[in-house]
Amino acid sequence: MNDERLFDPDRAHARTSDPETSHAAAASVTDLTGKQEAVLQTLALTGPAGDEYLIAVYQNRAYMGVVPEQSESGIRTRRAELVRKGFVMDSGDKTETSTGRKSIVWKVQTQPKGT
């Protein structure tokens, strides 16, 4: 089911079946675009994750029609915007990418900056 109302940038929400972290992320959302909100909710669903894993989970959710489609670079850009806005932060951990490089593990900031 692809309900465009799910991505209204003026209204954040989480499904009743989503974990508590998704509900907390949705409740804290203000001034986010629909695609930013979708990336934030995906990271809340996965828990701390590197970009590679975040992208894989996001694209699977997009395939199922749960979130809007975005390119890999688009997902990284939305995640970077969420970092700048204070909704996502560096967890302090690193993960290894499929090419063997180290990558930051990102996590949802429980209390966004400025709130």
Q: Per-domain residue ranges for the chain? A: 4-108
CATH number for the segment(s) 4-108:
1.10.10.10
Looking at this protein, which amino acid is placed at residue 29? V
Q: Is 56 exposed, middle or buried (0-12, 13-18, 19+ CB in 10 A)?
A: middle
Placement of tokens 């489609």 in the chain = 69
Q: Is 96 exposed, middle or buried (0-12, 13-18, 19+ CB in 10 A)?
A: exposed
Enter the pTM of the model: 0.71
Residue 7 has a pLDDT of 45
| The two three-digit tokens of residue 34, written as one number | 């629909």
Strand intervals (E) in the chain: 88-96, 102-108
pLDDT over 60 at 54, yes or no: yes
pLDDT digits (tens, 9 = 90+) for 2-45: 444 344 444 455 556 666 666 666 655 557 899 999 999 999 99
65-91 average pLDDT score: 97
| The two three-digit tokens of residue 45, written as one number | 């669903």
Interhelix angle for 34-46 vs 51-63, to 10°? 110
